[in-house]
């Protein structure tokens, strides 16, 4: 009887051991066949954030431009160490690469032969970056230099200020602005698509990186002191300022939001980011302003190769503006929100409002 109990106990132990072994073996085989989660971007090198786009990304207006982009060999991309990409805070990211170029259209961000100030495609430059960087975030700001031709519109509005008896620039723009923005959307979509294509060719999958398309902030707005609606600061008519800060910027943002949706990019709306911090809004005290006023570099007028760029910084985010945008972008990247808007927050900062 005692021997029987011993035999029965041994049999039970053997069965348990067999079951455990089978479970371990089955689990191991199962894990081999199941895709394992990736540990971030592929390749080697530091985790990196890359910025592509035009002047609002390069750092135009923020000063201290790198010598190679401040007119050397005709390169006026005006990349600044004060640009928001240099100040954004992302856990684990230790490298920052700014490929943006002042005046760049979508075609120069995309793959292809378009260049800007002698620089080749930004997407093609990104293909070189991923060879020795692990890109975890890509931020793109582009579109205003396509059909909307924002710089040209600012010049038109500036000219309207001189012609007091004639209609403001907004009268004609109200008729054409929406169609200009509509024509811009597929060009931005193609550029963002090419950026994604470059990363896919390098072995990236969408889960490896964050892709953000951002819109534009209003550089000027209503409420400017009358004495600054002049060559002393912001020479624009009041009705033009109302239009720029209202339908003008909101229509442009809506078009870029559409491009983000079509490409699967996250969207950060900056339309209201400059509210109460626009150029000339501070009156006699410019400390609260995040955008440059009418800026003329007199020294540049004495050099033929620089004279045509003497006004280039005007009505762009300054260093304080870029720092504020960087704070909002940092907050947005820390969330899983598909869209957000940069809005005024406590402490003279910008907060990322979900779904904005």
Please give the radius of gyration of the chain, using alpha carbons only, rounded to the nearest integer: 27
Structure tokens at 1: 């009887």
Q: Catalytic site residue 78? A: no
Beta bridge partners of 138: 50, 211
> Would you call 58 a catalytic residue per the annotation?
no
Per-residue exposure over 87-118, b if at least 16 CB sit within 10 Å of its own CB, e if not: bbebeebebbbbbbbbbbbbbbbbbeeeebbe
Count the alpha carbons within 13 Å of 306 in the hemisphere toward its beta carbon: 15
Measured CA angle at 341 (ends 179, 286), to 5 deg: 95
Q: Please name every residue paired with 350 in a beta bridge, in sequence order, or none if there are none.
A: 344
The backbone region for 20, taken as left when phi is positive above 0, alpha when psi lies in -120 to 50, beta otherwise, is alpha
**Catalytic-role residue among 78, 133, 316, 322:** 316
Phi, psi of 147 (to 5 degrees): -60, -35
Among 55, 106, 136, 253, the one annotated catalytic: 55
| Strands across the sheet containing 210-214 | 95-98, 47-53, 134-141, 210-214, 266-269, 339-345, 349-354
> Tell me, what DSSP letter sits at residue 87?
T
What's the CA gap between 293 and 79, in Å, rounded?
Answer: 19
In angstroms, rounded to a whole number, what is the distance separating the alpha carbons of residues 139 and 214? 7
Distances, alpha carbon 171 to alpha carbons 74, 159, 239, in Å: 36, 14, 9
Active site members:
55, 316
């Amino acid at each position: 009887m005692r021997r029987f109990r011993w035999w029965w106990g041994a049999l039970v132990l053997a069965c348990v051991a067999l079951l455990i072994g089978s479970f371990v073996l089955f689990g191991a085989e199962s894990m081999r066949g199941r895709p394992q989660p990736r540990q971030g971007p592929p390749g080697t090198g530091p985790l990196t954030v890359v910025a592509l786009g035009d002047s609002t990304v390069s750092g135009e207006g923020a000063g201290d431009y790198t010598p190679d982009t401040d007119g050397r060999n005709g390169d006026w991309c005006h990349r600044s160490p004060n640009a928001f990409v240099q100040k954004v805070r992302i856990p684990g990211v230790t490298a920052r690469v700014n490929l943006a170029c002042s005046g760049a259209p979508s075609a120069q961000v995309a793959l292809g032969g378009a260049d800007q100030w002698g620089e080749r495609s930004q997407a093609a430059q990104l293909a070189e970056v991923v060879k020795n960087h692990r890109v975890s975030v890509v931020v793109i700001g582009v579109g205003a230099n396509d059909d909307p031709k924002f710089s040209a519109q600012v010049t038109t509005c500036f000219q309207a200020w001189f012609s007091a008896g004639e209609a403001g620039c907004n009268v004609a723009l109200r008729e054409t602005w929406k169609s200009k923005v509509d024509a811009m959307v597929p060009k931005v979509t193609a550029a963002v698509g090419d950026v994604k294509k470059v990363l896919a060719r390098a072995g990236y999958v969408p889960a490896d990186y964050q892709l953000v398309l951002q819109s534009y902030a209003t550089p000027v707005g209503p409420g400017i002191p009358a004495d600054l609606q002049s060559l002393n600061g912001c020479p624009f008519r009041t009705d033009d300022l109302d239009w720029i800060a209202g339908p003008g910027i909101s229509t442009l943002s809506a078009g870029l939001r559409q491009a983000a949706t079509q490409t699967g990019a996250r969207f950060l709306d900056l339309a209201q980011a400059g509210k109460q911090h626009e150029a000339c809004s501070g009156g006699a005290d410019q400390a609260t302003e995040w955008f440059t006023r009418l800026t003329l570099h007199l020294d540049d007028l004495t050099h033929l190769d620089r004279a045509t760029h003497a006004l280039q910084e005007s009505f762009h985010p300054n260093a304080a503006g870029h720092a504020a945008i960087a704070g909002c972008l940092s907050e947005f990247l820390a969330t899983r929100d598909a869209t957000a808007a940069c809005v005024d927050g406590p402490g003279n900062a910008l907060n990322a409002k979900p779904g904005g």
